Structure 1
Amino acid sequence: MIKNVLTLTLTLSAGLLSLAAHAQMSPVGLWRSIDDATQQPKAEIRITPKAGGGLSGVVERSLATTPSPEPNCTLCTDDRKGQPKIGMEIIRGGQQSDGKAVWEGGKILDPENGKNYSLRLTPIDGGKKLEVRGFIGAPLLGRTQTWIRVQ
């Protein structure tokens, strides 16, 4: 009897750990972006699933030591033009690629220059980090940032 309870407990624990690890290999969560120039934390972005599918990434707060001289996205050319950068949706869309830990097909906005880029998100390091690749045309023509999971 005790052996059966121990076996059941270990099996359930392993299953729960497996589910937690799988959940971490998703871009869903709170992420800290790093400034390319200074290598310092820049902002926190929360990525959530959208009701109709895809992802949404919203800037929750700035971590910049000096506030931006322009708090609104004056260079944006879509519905976000003139909107505050804090609270702005910068990631729209993206679907998981054939069961792989890669999300593609969405767009990411750089609120500093107002440009939209094609998006690829890849959780790495057991889901503790997220490779965020923005590109125009082919994925080879772009840049990759590594964001750090906060939650």
Structure 2
Amino acid sequence: MRRLTILAALAMATVPAAAWAGSGITGVWATGSEGGKVEIYRCGSALCGKIVDASRLRANPDLRDLRNPDKSLRNRKLKGLVVLRGFKGGPTEWKGGPVYDPESGDGAATGYLTLRGDGKLEVKGCKAAIFCRTKVWTRAK
């Protein structure tokens, strides 16, 4: 029995962190700002992401998308707001878009998701090939 335990431990040590991320990138991720959490989930044949939590939302669950440059969208609730849409690829890199940041009201037509070897997720939004912004998310506990 002890030999089996040692073999299992050795096998686990050789598996990349990305493989231990459960079901790839689906699940809840901490965005690193304002206590934000985004759930990445399957939406048809692609992946999407929606806001599920933030410190401001805990204080006021009825917060709206007030920073959106499109005035007609400013009445949308932040909780449940889809901020990532149409990502395809895998197992460690996905491309899609649009990507939306409700903190700033900035959006990008094209986005990239990269699951790093350390288990963190790089979320990159690009307005043009050279105008990109990247944030690093960690899997929520």
Give TM-score, length-normalised by structure 2: 0.72
Structure with the greater alpha carbon radius of gyration: 1
CA separation of 1:33 and 1:21: change in aligned 2, threshold 3 A: closer
Q: Distance in 1 between matches of 2:31 and 2:121?
A: 9
Q: Distance in 1 between matches of 2:76 and 2:36?
A: 17
Which residues of structure 1 form unaligned runs of 5+? 1-5, 36-40
Q: What number of residue pairs does the alignment pair up? A: 134
Indicate the percent of aligned positions where both proteins have the same amino acid.
27
Q: Distance in 2 between matches of 1:134 and 1:78?
A: 22
Which residues of structure 2 form unaligned runs of 5+? none
CA separation of 1:45 and 1:143: change in aligned 2, threshold 3 A: same
Tell me the amino acid that sits aligned with residue 144 of structure 1.
Answer: T
Aligned to 2:86: 93
Instruction: Please say if residues 57 and 63 of structure 2, whose CA atoms lie closer than 8 Å, have aligned partners that are also in contact.
Output: no
- Over residues 37-60 of structure 1, what are the superposed CA-to-partner deviations in whole Å (9 max), with x where a residue is unaligned? xxxx5301100011x211111111
Q: Distance in 1 between matches of 2:77 and 2:69?
A: 11
2:74 corresponds to 1:84: no
Instruction: Please say if residues 30 and 138 of structure 2, whose CA atoms lie closer than 8 Å, have aligned partners that are also in contact.
Output: yes
Q: CA RMSD in A?
A: 3.7
Instruction: Please say if residues 57 and 79 of structure 2, whose CA atoms lie closer than 8 Å, have aligned partners that are also in contact.
Output: no
Aligned to 2:132: 142
